[in-house]
Structure 1
Amino acid sequence: MTAIRVVLHKISPEKLFMGSVLLVNGGNYLYNLILGRLLGPAAYSEAALLITLLLVLSFLGMTFQLATAKFAILFNNDDWVALKQLLYKYALGFGTLIGILLFTFAGSLQELFHTESSLLFKTFAVSVPLYFFMSVNRGRYQGKQDYQKLSLTYQTEMWSRLLITLGLLWLVPFEPAFLVALGIGLSFVFGLIPTDFNIKSIIQTVTLSKENKRKVISFIVLTACYELTQIIINNSDILLVKHYFDTLNAGLYSSLAMIGRVVYFVAWMFVMLLLPTVVQKQKDGEATAPILIKYVSYVGVLAIVIIFCCAVFPKLIIQLMFGEAYISMAPLLWQYALATSLFAISNIFAYYFLSLDKYIPVILSGVLGISQIVMIVFFHSTLYMVVQVQIIAMVTLLVAQLLYFAHNNILNKTS
């Protein structure tokens, strides 16, 4: 134990967080792989739908997390106390609203996505406010760069979801999709560990100045718009495939998406480190572009390696991860990995500019996200065509982000 403590003490908090994120991503992949093998393609399509809803929820929650993280750096003393009060209230209010809407329209969602029951949506809806509360909690740790506590809250959520869901599936003779929804909801409770939340954060009467409140609301709106584009780009394909294709093909496509998105999930780790670093450097009057270039380089190298492996060993990868039943997706694996890699790199650029309060990348992402949906709606005769549409959209998005970055740098040098 002493040796472990010495090693941990020597590892920087940033590297500890990166290692923790890799472990969380590995655990989430294990969760999906076990569900895929345990349930089979048809039943897995409903579990994958819930996992997609969880990703949608995580993007919405990221709005509050990033807002908390950014202004934790910029605000001090009473302004910081007032900010926490404001964001906890906003998060709980918004989470409750989303939960009520999901619960109310559970029947319509059942018809839209062809699920066996509406109970899975209602179960998921009840837990939604907890997730937004958890997001503000995480934003506090991210902004203060307390990566040990930030790592722990992700670990507790991931491991509890994995263990509780598998325990329910093995021990409780009930509809699998409902049990998966219940496992996800209970994991949010464990995701609140650790927390030092005090009820005063909600009821105390410290007020944020009008100017600072305007800054916070503007950033929340801007970030929410970008997170909405992320939801569209990152999840619309699975939802549309679930709508247009039968349950077998939807389950096969979900397995493809889960493997191909590995680059995106790893890139998310760099986003967590990028925002507080960029905000702090901007506050101190230092150059921020080198941070962006460093993280884009990391993600770019990782993307090349993963795309190469998916192109050379597609059948082996799918067989090892999901089994023989999913092997028909092998020819599409490297192409889906290419699409998500392009999006992951574009995402680094977008969050960089979001940290600097620049909104053009948000508009670019929104336009391309809507274009992707429109193209899939019109061109979805095969799963191959669905993937090709995404590659076209993501190439266009990355080129647009690169052009904006170059234009922005030229303006900064001439000003």
Structure 2
Amino acid sequence: MIISTTLKKLSAEHKFMISALLVNAGNYLYNLVLGRILGPEQFADAAILITFLLVLSFVAMTFQLATAKFSVLLEKEVLQNFIKLVYKYAIMIGLVLGGLVIIFSKTLQGTFRTQSQFMFIIFGIGIPIYFIMSINRGVFQGSNKFNKLASTFQTEMISRLVITIGLILLLNIQSSILIAIGITISLIFGLFPFHLKNISISKIKPLPSKHKKHVTKFFILTAFYELTQIIINNSDIMLVKHYFEGYEAGLYASLALIGRVVYFVAWMFVMLLLPKVVTKHKNGEATTPILSKYVVYITILSSLIVLGCYLFPELVIDLMFGSAYISIAPLLWKYAIATSLFAISNIFAYYFLSLDQYIPVILSGLLGITQVILIIFFHGSLSEVVIIQIIAMTILLIVQLIFFFGFNTKPNS
């Protein structure tokens, strides 16, 4: 009774934050169970699929953020037509990307040294569904329907967890194929609840020229930034899988999963940040206080996580993945530092994207490319790979802070 009354008093935003924490916990449980069931070598293949899913989420995020932003800025018929347009292009791009993954599945198998190409074929089938799901989420995010937005994440997470683990326990088939099936089916569940009102990809009118230019510019720059996100956040796992043996790659995948907990939680604040900043900027109000609040939250959270990883690395590894992964424990706190620096700088980057300030996006891209180049040349050990990321993310955060303080001296910032 007390819990029910308390939940009713919570705002939609607070409910979404609680939901996001539960979804992240569920996604973590999914990875942890896979890690324990499969062991380091098989988990390395699973980690590639999970990484591909994260890569896909960044690509699709371009559509989600654009839909969210222009759901705030556009009105009535123009907004309805805009949503029809993004659905049309998202489906087209989803089909192309999915087709490419299927066509080059054998090449992907060789590049990442996985046991099967069929895991990529099954994954490719689900790609168009993810794009549709992301636009649906963008509509809910832009219109502040956080309850429905939270529900789409919940249905995706719960179905993936239950279906994937169930398939692995019940069927004696290659685990990577079963994981790919679980991911694809969960994307269908993630479509619900679905925003059906005025959705059609027929009878689409061109956007007015003043809106078309703004939309095109935002799409291009956001797509570029999401590409930098893919490079910074996922290139290390892919490169490690390419350069190192399966056992070491599996160890690194467990390290990355634990160290990135602060980054996944930071996404919760990004979801809340964008529509608030766009609305306040539209109304001529100060936006800096919103950014400051979320940066403080992420900084405190990341500091606690790094401290825990530094003081109890073996305990954390053993509790989450088991003794088979314990040898990676000394690197845990270092990787957590790299991820924390990235999570904080990421909040600044999305803040600037909301305000149509794109220099930080370009700077992030340059740092992302630099990180990849450094890992290609310096990968003598897993420790070396982690140190390189700390250096790159420190530089990125410093650059973001310099730009922020310079931008903050301007009026209406």
**Is TM > 0.5 for Structure 1 vs Structure 2?**
yes
Counterparts of 1:200 and 1:90, CA distance in 2: 14
- What is aligned with 1:387? 386
- Give the equivalent residue in structure 2 for 1:352: 351
Post-superposition CA distance 1:188-207 (Å, at most 9, x none):
00000101325842113344
Instruction: Identify the residue that residue 196 of structure 1 maps to in structure 2.
Output: 195
Equivalent residues of 1:81, 1:201 under 8 A apart: no
Residue 143 (1) aligns with residue 164 (2): no
What are the ranges of 5 or more consecutive residues in structure 1 without an aligned counterpart? none
TM-score by length of 2: 0.98
Secondary structure of 2:194's partner?
A: coil
Query: What residue number does 2:406 align with?
Result: 407
- Could you tell me how far 1:5 is from its partner in structure 2? 4.7
Identify the residue that residue 234 of structure 2 maps to in structure 1: 235
1:394 counterpart SS class: helix
1-structure distance, mates of 2:175, 2:184? 14
Q: Structure 1 207/6 Cα, relative in aligned 2: closer, same or farther at 3 Å?
A: farther
Q: SS state of the match for residue 358, structure 1? A: coil
SS at match of 1:174: coil
Q: Does 1:44 align with 2:43?
A: yes
Query: What is the rounded CA distance, in whole Å, between the counterparts of 2:17 and 2:381 in structure 1?
Result: 38
Give 3-state SS (helix, strand or coil) of 1:195's partner: coil
RMSD: 1.2
Q: Using a 3 Å threshold, how does the CA distance of structure 1 residues 291 and 200 change in structure 2: closer, same or farther? A: closer
Deviation for aligned residue 1:381: 0.4
* Superposed counterparts of 1:126-165, under 5 Å: 126-165=125-164
Cα deviations by residue, 1:180-228 (Å, 9 ceiling, x for unpaired): 0000000000000101325842113344212212211211111000000
Within a 5 Å distance, the mapping from 1:133-282 to structure 2 comes to 133-197=132-196, 200-282=199-281
Identical-residue share of aligned pairs (%) = 57
Q: Deviations over 1:292-335 (max 9, x none)?
A: 11100000000110000000000000000000000001100000
Q: Which runs of 5+ in 2 are unaligned?
A: none
- Inter-partner Cα distance in structure 2 for 1:89 and 1:180: 29
TM-score in terms of structure 1 length: 0.98
CA distance in 2 between counterparts of 1:176 and 1:198 reads 39
Q: Deviations over 1:87-126 (max 9, x none)?
A: 1001111111110110111011011000111100000000
Q: Report if the CA contact (8 A) 1:232-1:373 is conserved.
A: yes
Q: Which residue pairs with 2:287 in the alignment?
A: 288
CA distance in 2, matches of 1:151, 1:288: 25
Q: 1:200 to 1:309 in 2, by over 3 A?
A: closer
- 1:108 is aligned with what amino acid? T
Summarize deviations over 1:34-60 as a string: whole Å, max 9, x none: 000000000000000000000000001
Task: Check conservation: 2:139, 2:195, Cα contact below 8 A.
Answer: no
SS in 2 for 1:412: coil
Matched, 1:115 2:136: no
Residue of structure 1 in register with 2:95 after alignment: 96
Structure 1 residues 307-326: aligned runs within 5 Å:
307-326=306-325
**Residues 113-153 of structure 1, C-alpha deviation per residue, up to 9 Å, x if partnerless?**
00111100000000100000000000000000000000000
Q: Give yes or no for contact 1:33–1:321 (8 Å, CA) kept in 2.
A: yes
What is the identity, as a one-letter code, of the residue corresponding to 2:90? A
Tell me, in whole angstroms, the C-alpha distance in 1 between the residues paired with 2:335 and 2:305. Answer: 11
Q: Secondary structure at the match of 1:208?
A: coil
Aligned-partner residue type, residue 70 of structure 2: F
